[in-house]
Amino acid sequence: MPPASKPPTAASLSLFQLLDPAVLADPYPLYQRLREQDPVHWDPYLHSWVVTSYPEVVAVLTKYSADRTPTPEQLAALGLTEMKPFAEMMVRQMLFADAPAHTRLRTLCSVAFTPRRVEGLRAEIQAIADSLVDDVIASGRMEVLGDFAEAFPAIVTARLLGVPTKDHQQLKRWSADFAELLGNFQHNPDRVASVLRSLEELRDYLADKMREQGAAPDKQAGLIGSLMAAEVDGGKLTDEEVIASTIVTMVGGQETTTNLIGNGLYTLLRQPVRLAQLRDDPSIIAPAVEELLRYESPSQHTARVAKDDVVLGGKTIKKGAAVMAVMAAANRDPSRFPEPDRLDLTRADNRHVAFGWAAHYCFGAPLARMEGAIAFTTLLRRLPGLALAEEKPAWRGNTGLRGLTALHVTFARAAAETMARHL
C-alpha cells in the first residue's frame, strides 16, 4: 500500500515559504497546493487569509475594501511612528481608497491620463527601445534588466510625466525604493530610513516640477501639469493629491513593466519553440503579452480587508480581517485556464487577473501593454540568435513584485549589426 499522504500543516501551506529563495524561484507548486487543499486559507504566520482560486480571487478584488493602509495611530501601536509621512502619502493614492474617494481620485486622474496621451507616446517608446538596443549591439551580449528592462520604463515614465529624460535613473531609484516596501509582506526596519529620505527627495522634486508645469499650462503639458489642471464638476486634485497620484503612477508603472519584460523574455528563452513562434509571427504579440502576464505575473498578490462578516469558499471571514488575493495563483487555476502551466501564446479567453479586477483594475494597463509589445517585438526582431547565457538567473527577494535580479543573454552580433545598418 502506498504511504498515506501527510495532512497539510499551517507551515506547509504558509506563503511565508516565499522567503526561501528556492520556493520563490518557482512558487507555482506552493500555489497549487494551496489551491487544491485550502483555496481560502487562514495563514497564521501572515495573520491573513490567503486566497488562491480564480473565482474567489475575483470576488475579493470586486467586493473587499482596498482601504488597508495603517492609520498613524495603528502605526504608533506597532512602534512604527517614523513611517507616518509615508502612510500620509499612501492614503491619498487611489490604490488604497474605496468609493466614493476612490471614484473621485480615479476620475480626476483619468482626465489627465487619457488613451490619447498613451497613444501619443507610441513612436517615442519605439525610439527608446531601439536606442537601448543600439547601445548593446556591438557587444553580442546583454544583461536584459540593466541594459534594457529597467531603463526602458523609467525613460517612458520621464516622458509621460514631462520631466527631463536624463532624470530617469533618479526616478528609477526612488521607485525601486518604494517598491521594496510595497511589494513585500515582511517589514524590513533597515529600509525605513532610506525610504523616508527618498520620499522627502521625491516630494521636493515633484513640487519643483509642479511649479514649472503649473506655470506653463499652454505648453504640451506633462502628466504632472495635466493632473494639476484636471477638473471634474468643478472639483480638482489638491497639491498633495497631485504628488500622491504622480507617485502611484511612477511606482506602479516602473517595477511591474521591468518585470513583465524580464520575466517574459526569460519565459520565452526557456521555451525556444515559443520564442521562434513569436519572432516569426509578430502579429500574435497582443495575445502573447497577455499570456506572458498570466504565466509569470509581475504583481503576484495584493491585499484587501473584509468589509463585513462574509462567507468565502465555505470559510467565514470576519469583518476587518486581512485578505491576500494571490493573482499569480488564480492565473494558474485549471478550472479557469485549461492546461494552466502550458505557455500558449495565442490562448483564447485569457481573462487573467495580472492587472487586477474591477474598480482598481490597473490604471496604466494600456501603457503597460504597449510597452510590453514594443519591447518583445524589438528585442526578438533586432537580436537574432537570442539565447540564455546562464541557466538559472536569480529571482529578487520581493515576494509580491516578481522579477529577476539579472538576465544575461547572448545573440548573433554580426547578424544584428548587419540588420541595424539596414534599419
Q: Which stretches of the chain bind ligand HEM, using CB under 6 A? A: 61, 94-95, 106, 248-249, 252-253, 256-257, 260, 298-299, 302, 354-356, 360, 362-364, 367-368
- Minimum CB separation of residue 399 from ligand HEM in Å reads 14
Q: Which is nearer to ligand HEM, 333 or 411 (CB)?
A: 333
Please tell me whether residue 234 adopts helix, strand or coil conformation. Answer: coil
**How many CA atoms are closer than 13 Å to the CA of 300, on its beta-carbon side?**
26
Region at 136 (left for phi over 0; alpha for psi -120 to 50; beta for the rest): alpha
Q: Which CA distances in Å does 155 have to 52, 152, 221?
A: 35, 5, 17
Nearer to ligand HEM, 86 or 96 (CB): 96
Interacting residues of 423 by C-beta distance below 8 A, sequence separation 6+ = 130
Shortest Cβ 95–ligand HEM spacing (Å)? 4
| Min CB(160)–ligand HEM separation in Å | 6
Of the two residues 248 and 409, which places its CB atom closer to ligand HEM in the complex?
A: 248
Taking Cα atoms as reference points, which of 103, 123, 121 lies closest to residue 111? 103
- In order, the DSSP letters of 258-309 are HHHHHHHHHHHHH-HHHHHHHHH-GGGHHHHHHHHHHHT-SB--EEEE-SS-
Widest CA span in the chain: 79
CB of 222 to ligand HEM, least distance (A): 13
Measured from the CB of residue 289, what is the shortest distance to ligand HEM in angstroms? 9
The CB-of-153 to ligand HEM minimum distance in angstroms stands at: 7
For the CB of residue 104, give the shortest distance to ligand HEM in the complex, in Å: 11
Q: Are strands 322-325 and 48-51 parallel, antiparallel or unpaired?
A: parallel
Nearer to ligand HEM by Cβ, of 50 and 416: the residue is: 50
In the complex, residue closest to ligand HEM by CB? 364
Pick between residue 237 and residue 362 the one whose CB is nearest to ligand HEM.
362
**395: closest CA among 405, 410, 385?**
405
Q: Which is nearer to ligand HEM, 153 or 416 (CB)?
A: 153
Nearer to ligand HEM, 91 or 412 (CB): 91
Residue 407 · residue 266 · CB < 8 Å: yes
CB of 98 to ligand HEM, least distance (A): 10
The partner residues of 408 in beta bridges, in order of sequence, read 143
Minimum separation from the CB atom of position 353 to ligand HEM (A) = 7
Nine cell digits for residue 58: 475575483
**Smallest Cα–Cα separation from 39: which of 53, 59, 58, 49?**
53
Q: Is 374 left (phi over 0), alpha (psi -120 to 50) or beta?
A: alpha
3-state secondary structure of 50: strand
Q: CB-wise, 298 or 416, nearer to ligand HEM?
A: 298
Closer residue to ligand HEM (CB): 157 or 411: 157
Taking 3-state DSSP, the helix, strand and coil percentages for the chain, each rounded to the nearest 5, stand at: 60, 10, 35
